[in-house]
Amino acid sequence: MKYEKLAKDIIKNVGGKENVNSLTHCITRLRFKLKDESKANTEVLKNMDGVVTVVKSGGQYQVVIGNHVPDVYADVVAIGGFQTSSEEGSTEKLNAFNKFIDIVSGVFQPTLGLLSATGMIKGINALLVAFHILNPKSGTYIILNAIGDCLFYFFPIFLGYTSAKKFKLKEFTGMAIGASLVYPAIASLTAGKPLYTLFSGTIIQSPVYLTFLGIPVILMSYASSVIPIILSTYVGAKIEGFFKKVVPDVVKSFLVPFFTLIVTVPLAFIVIGPVATWLGKILGAATLSIYNLSPAIAGIFLGGFWQVFVIFGLHWGLVPIAINNLAVLKHDPIIALSFGASFAQIGVVLAIMLKTKDKKLKSLGLPAFISGIFGVTEPAIYGISLPRKKPFILSCVGAAVGGGILGAMGTSTYMMGGLGIFGIPGKLGPNGFDMGFYGAIIAPIVSFIVGFILVFFSYKDEESAVKNEEKNESNLVKQEIIVSPLKGEVKPLAVVKDEAFSKGALGKGVAIEPSEGKVVAPVDGVVTTLFPTAHAIGITSKSGAEILIHIGMDTVQLEGKHFTPKVKQGDEIRVGQELLEFDIKAIEKEGYSLITPIIITNSSSYLDIIETDKKNINFEDNLLTVMI
């Protein structure tokens, strides 16, 4: 596992796996729901290598990692044995707002990557037609449009799955409810002449095309809709829970979904869908009315505070409004107002990169800048601008200016597309290159320039950082000595009969054939990992070198026999301190090789790892030299 140590440290410092109720991730964050947040070591996590920061919002404990969060998530899930949902309830009581944010994020998060991808395809297709590169009647356009439209058109099916996971309904039952809502034979009925019309002349005017057991069914277009399926799966979960209690176990596997569907789906068509759709229409009209009072002022406000909303997870409250507006109004002018925020942030980052003398800050700035171009701004916010406060505030000013321009020029989002520059095609509407689209180009540029100029002419390195940089200019290359934890014969890693070690996949180092059954500390540091079987121990030195001592090959199968640890995980250790004992004769009698790899698992963080030239070595002789 690439991030095994980080994953273990995260699990440990969120209170252990027994404190985790559920775990998901988004583009840059691990999103935990903890049973008791007071058990988490927030300050330890914030200062941990590999963690950008920690945010507590919306009932979630969010550990910000960066762009490689999917890999870290995979290791955390594997090590902790987590699932993305849990049957156990959290002991934390959520207020109504936090509960709403929790539901929205849980339902929409899993779809965001695919939503962005399909939106980008649809946006590129729209640009190809606008530039007369593709004919909208061509096969190429039709296939690309199918790829771009598939998720949003069949959104109820996808949300049926994610909503079901959130509300503890069987996932395929949730998908079946969603599929019923967009079933072609029913959806096509709205093209004919209605039997009669209910609520004629109002915002909720509803033609009736068919009845169910004599009850009028108000058909809506549920393609692309979000509220009906979420409410339907919620009701379905309650219905399923009831039938689980009353249906005998021997027939539960088919009778529970049978009764759940036969009750929920008619309810969805007769009651839930129409009411939810009416609510959606009212919500869309209300948000548009607020926007129409003053688009420019709305843009200044939303643009200026968008990054603050993101930090606290409050932007999730606007996501369903945006998707609802797209389904009802065919465009969303609300979230479009935040489009300049990521560009203001990268303008700030670029200014800091050009002004700072801090080489570490420069190295952090480049990947944060690149991520920000594509709309992923958490590394820039948490790693660079927010810790320095003033640059973050100035980025909000740049975003507010861009938001005002977007509002004034009438920019809207016509499809849920990519972030950052990939979001531009999504602003291209049915009128082609109109003022709104030009606003989507002008506003990000202005936001970028404002953020850059404000920071470039005001930023100063902290005095201590400059002094440290100057102090280290003449001594850029340092080294750390790793002494031998064993006594015995030194051998190259290549002779180890385990490719993970012999090919250097786990890091650089050497192997020792021990002549004495004792392991001592090779550095001053901390025992970060002590396997329950005591056959391997991980140590982190004070300067950050991560050392793995793996006693023998396949000795994990001994399940701790013949190993006696003298320390425990988390202990601080000093060079030469005894860490554990092992019985050489007993282990060899069991048929196991005792050749012991000693490797630096974070070798890629160093210039070089120099091995000793000794053939035989004693405890505390110089073994490895780490070039920093």
Bridge partners of 578, per DSSP, are 520
Q: Which residue, among 614, 610, 612, 602, has the nearest Cα to 626 in the 3D structure?
A: 610
State if pTM tops 0.85: no
Looking at residue 375, what DSSP letter applies? Answer: T
Parts of the chain belonging to CATH 2.70.70.10: 479-627
Residue-wise DSSP of 269-330: IIIIHHHHHHHHHHHHHHHHHHHHH-HHHHHHHHHHHHHHHHHTTGGGGTHHHHHHHHHHTS
Which residues contact residue 408 at a Cβ distance below 8 angstroms, ignoring those fewer than 6 apart?
295, 296, 299, 439
H or E stretch covering 5: helix 4-13
Quick one: how far is CA 357 from the chain centroid? 32
CA gap 104, 60 in Å, rounded:
12
pLDDT at site 399: 95
User: Are the C-beta atoms of residues 368 and 380 closer than 8 Å to each other?
Assistant: yes
CATH architecture of 479-627: Distorted Sandwich (2.70)
CA gap 67, 69 in Å, rounded:
6
pLDDT at site 105: 66
pLDDT at site 101: 59
Rounded alpha-carbon distances, angstroms, from residue 493 to 25, 511, 597, 621: 37, 5, 7, 19
* Ranges under pLDDT 50 in the chain: 85-91, 313, 463-477
CA angle 190, 207, 185 (to 5 degrees): 25
Rounded alpha-carbon distances, angstroms, from residue 445 to 425, 449, 542: 15, 6, 45
Bridge partners of 536, per DSSP, are 550
User: Are the C-beta atoms of residues 315 and 381 closer than 8 Å to each other?
Assistant: no
> Residue 44 — left, alpha, or beta (φ > 0 → left; ψ -120 to 50 → alpha)?
alpha
Looking at residue 397, what DSSP letter applies? Answer: H
Looking at residue 335, what DSSP letter applies? Answer: G
Choose the CATH number for 4-93 among 3.40.50.300, 3.30.1450.10, 3.90.180.10, 3.30.1360.60.
3.30.1360.60
Parts of the chain belonging to CATH 3.30.1360.60: 4-93
**Catalytically annotated residues:** 26, 550
H or E stretch covering 579: strand 578-582
Looking at residue 248, what DSSP letter applies? Answer: -
pLDDT at site 400: 95
pLDDT tens column, 87-105: 344 445 556 656 665 676 6
pLDDT at site 498: 75
